[in-house]
Amino acid sequence: MPYKKTIMKIIIHGGFFSESKTNQEVKQAKQEALREIVQLGHKYLESHTAVETVVYTVCLLEDCDLFNAGTGSQIQSDGKIRMSASLMNGKTMQFSGVINIENIRNPIRVAEKLLTMEDKVLSGRGAQEFARENGFKHYNPEIPQRRHEYEKKLSDSIRLGTVGCVALDIYGDLAAATSTGGKGFEIPGRVSDSATAAGNYVNECAGISCTGVGEDIVSGAVAPKIVTRVTDGMNLQLATMKTLNELKPFNGFAGVIGISANGDTYHADTHPYMVWALHDGEIEIFN
């Protein structure tokens, strides 16, 4: 079947961080990591679908302990790490995810496996058992820095963070994937936006991945609102800004990356210092 060849694009985010104002070493490290990962993701996109690419790229982000997903995830109030991730295929409109899964290296890979299953979103023990039954080995994602932060109960600014990727492949298909290690010190069982459509949504017209305060993103239904508005004819930038403006009455904290089917890309946040990178033939990094 013939297909329309599209310029490949990929955009990623690594959540928020306040250190960029004062810690240039941290900022530079995150810029370099995002630059490398978005390059690898774009190279992978040359020979893979958008779905395969967002999974691959989010795995790279999960494996980088500079970010709060996979290795380096935050520790909850009971001293345990629980992670969430989701994946959505814009062509088939299928969504899958895991919520509060423990002792897994790459939660996004478990979400990928669930995309082919009848039951596509699993949480807690059910997600854990599914992962083990499907060959995902035990892995401790804790790093010494996170244990130190947990013990000192650091401020909220350290805890905000998620990783995500949206990709547009040569077939014109879109996909989005998002993964998080939580906000840190939360009540066990808390559900963030990252494994829900509120924080990760895509169709044939646009794809969105969010970061920020999960409760605010869910309250604002951020990702599906933006995608719906683009589907109804609004351009990506206007759809994003209109949706983020609707968070103002409750001072909602959110950041967004997105790509539309016509190749438009956009990133925005309600508070400064979302970290992101874009590759559309040339690389652009947050500064």
Q: Give residue-wise pLDDT tens across range 24-37.
A: 888 899 999 999 99
**What mean pLDDT do residues 221-245 have?**
98
pLDDT of residue 2: 45
Q: What is the pTM of this model?
A: 0.92
pLDDT at 1: 39
Known catalytic membership, residue 270: no
Residue of 57, 162, 180, 270 marked active site: 162
Residue 159: predicted pLDDT: 45
pLDDT in tens, 61-70: 999 999 999 9
CA 263 and chain centroid, separation: 19
**CA separation for the pair 72, 208 (Å, rounded):** 24
- Which DSSP string corresponds to 134-186? TTPPP-----HHHHHHHHHT--HHHH---EEEEEE-TTS-EEEEEEE--SSSP
Q: What is the mean pLDDT of residues 215-225?
A: 97
Indicate the pLDDT class of residue 5, thresholds 50, 70 and 90: low
9-285 has CATH 3.30.1330.10 classification: no
Res 184: pLDDT = 81
